Amino acid sequence: MPTRSRSAACLLALLHVCMSTKALNHRILRTSKAGVTTTTCGLGIDCSPTPYTSRVIGTRTKQYSTDCLWSDQRQKHPPRLPGPCSSSPTKISATERPFTSSTLDLLLPLLKSPKQPELFLLDLHFDNHVPEFHPSHQLPHRTSSKALPLTEGESRKPRQKTTPGFLDHHHNGELVSKAMIGGALRHRVESIDPEFCDAGDEDTFFVADLGHVYRQHLRWKKNLPRVKPFYAVKCNPDPKVLRLLAELGNGFDCASKTEIKQVLDMGVDPSRIIYAQPCKTNSYVRYVAAEGVRQMTFDNADELYKIAKLFPEAELYLRILTDDSSSLCRLSLKFGASLDATDGLLALARELGLNVVGVSFHVGSGASDPLAFLKAVRDANFVFEQAAAHGFDMKTLDVGGGFCSDDTFEAMAGVLRDALDEYFPPHRGVSLIAEPGRYFVSAAFTIACNVIARRTVEDPNGSVNGSLAAAPSYMVYVNDGLYGNFSSIMFDHQHPVAKVLRSSGNFFYNTTDADSPESPSEGIEYSIWGPTCDGIDRISESVRFSQTIDVGDWLYFEDMGAYTKCSATRFNGFSDAHDVIYVCSEPAARAMMLNYI
């Protein structure tokens, strides 16, 4: 079959599937002269359910450009280019806004392209047992022995059966993530010559897996399908994280003009931003009024007078007080109106002619007690009833943040989901939003630090713990600390765990799911200190490694994506800007980001 005919046949077959499943309102395809990448069945902007899953459509060309950022499981460099290693492929893609566009509009220019390379369909299979919220992303397999040509030296392999399901995919995604992060860490560290490198080459750096952010989005959709996330930008304003979350259709919780401008500059519609700051600067209120960002919170009478003067058209959320005693960072000490005050505030808002459209609450950052959500939802329902008595027709409930990314999320989400179903069932017509931050990014970022100095501790007077050890212990100093990316130790009550990345020229990154911490009684004892002159700049009081750590070696810390680089300072003249190496362990997320790399 001629190349264009085979290409057209593949595309028309895909069109038939899409139309038969009523999926044309998804942003299913991104196209370029070099090929097509599909993002369907939960890979679209809202992850709406569809009864089929699809993989990737790409091109088979002779040469590829080098792009380690988007390396994937099947081929190291994804084919994206119309010619041999061109650096600027011409994109033929739908407009970025709105996110819904006709698949046919995307495909027709591709079919008419006289230079269109041969297309190949990696996989398109149907499986009604695949959970509707989530596509399968196993390594791609061919659909039949006749469908696709083989490259030189390639042999046919039987299709392997995979067990569909979120847990299976999540597990494999995590393994791929580990491998990609480890590869990026190793490549960067081994590229540095400590004897001859320029000043700053050994600086701290991050590796971020955007695939983890994507998996967290799917996890959210599974557990809280009625609640739309508005990502808390304050947690980590990384531009590629924001772009991916925008592509996924999420909203944004912003606390300042800078955050709002950053999101607006990406082309996000103002209706997808909530100015979730109960106490706002006057000039910032004027700014959001000019930019059309209407949603904002309040919790006191003075704020109502301010808004009535500067932005009377705003859509207001009354933030109520909650029990956040179980959270890492208690916010109710500073924000939230008590139930004794809510009725009076609603009466004042009515008197000033303001529009109160909803209620918001926040159970505290890093909450650990699921019952805090139950009580907060019940209190919010009470305020909804108060608002109705004052003539307000509230339409939105903002359940705030506090969601952790660890294994507690499912339990937390279950309690919240049941509470929402009881007090705000779907037939009530109330929109539900949330403000997760650390949930999306905490585990997506890994940081690597260079050991810049070491001190041997052999006597009680010099020991950090005041006890004489049988073997020497060491104080090691790294090029980051509490005034830098480890500020979360002070401000967010975090306890980063140090692991050996490279010692004595050997690489030790753990690419498995399971951690293997040293026994408390085994190995060499170290304390880890930051680079500043402040005595409190200590990352870890005591940790044991089986390896000997010396100057020039590297340590790494996982789960460093939340409240780290966003609160770093330049104390002692150290830089607060550090490189981020991006990897992406999910093909769907990679496809969404192709226009932005």
pTM value surpassing 0.85:
no
pLDDT number for residue 325: 57
The answer, yes or no, to whether residue 171 has pLDDT greater than 90, is no
Mean pLDDT within 23-38: 33
Return residue ranges of the chain for CATH 2.40.37.10: 442-583
The pLDDT-based confidence of 50 (bands split at 50, 70, 90) is very low
Mean pLDDT of 229-255: 97
More confident residue, 159 or 463: 463
Q: How confident is the model at residue 402 (pLDDT cuts 50, 70, 90)?
A: confident
> What residues are annotated to the active site?
533
| CATH 3.20.20.10 domain span(s) along the chain | 213-440
C-alpha–C-alpha distance, residues 27 and 34, integer Å: 19
Is pLDDT above 50 for 572? yes
* SS3 letters across 29-47: EEEECCEEEECCCCCCCCC
Superfamily per CATH, domain 442-583: Lyase, Ornithine Decarboxylase; Chain A, domain 1 (2.40.37.10)
Residue that has been written with the tokens 């902007």 in this structure? 45
Q: Please tell me which residue, 24 or 209, carries the higher pLDDT value.
A: 209
Q: Given this model, what pLDDT does residue 368 score?
A: 61
Q: Is the pLDDT of residue 532 over 90?
A: no
Rounded to whole angstroms, the Cα distance separating 246 from 273 reads 11
Query: Does 117 or 587 have the greater pLDDT score?
Result: 587
Cis previous bond, 239, omega within 30:
no
Rounded average pLDDT over 11-35: 37
Helices within 99-247 (DSSP H only) = 103-112, 166-190, 210-223, 239-247
Residue 74 clears pLDDT 50, i.e. is over it: no
pLDDT at residue 367, as a whole number: 56
> How many residues are listed for the chain in this entry?
597
CA separation for the pair 190, 220 (Å, rounded) = 37
Nearest to residue 500, comparing CAs of 426, 570, 555, 446?
555
List pLDDT tens digits, range 207-227: 999 999 999 999 999 999 999
Q: Find the mean pLDDT for residues 125-139.
A: 31
- Per the structure block, which two tokens stand in for 157? 């392999």
pLDDT for the residue numbered 328: 53
The CATH number of domain 213-440, selected from 3.40.50.460, 3.40.50.720, 3.20.20.10, 3.40.720.10: 3.20.20.10
Residue 385: pLDDT over 90: yes
The lowest-confidence range among 27-41, 262-276, 466-480 is: 27-41
Q: Is the pLDDT of residue 185 over 70?
A: yes
Q: What CA–CA distance (Å, rounded) separates 250 from 228?
A: 7
On the question of pLDDT at 372 being above 50, the answer is: yes
pLDDT digits (tens, 9 = 90+) for 136-166: 333 333 333 333 344 455 444 443 433 333 3
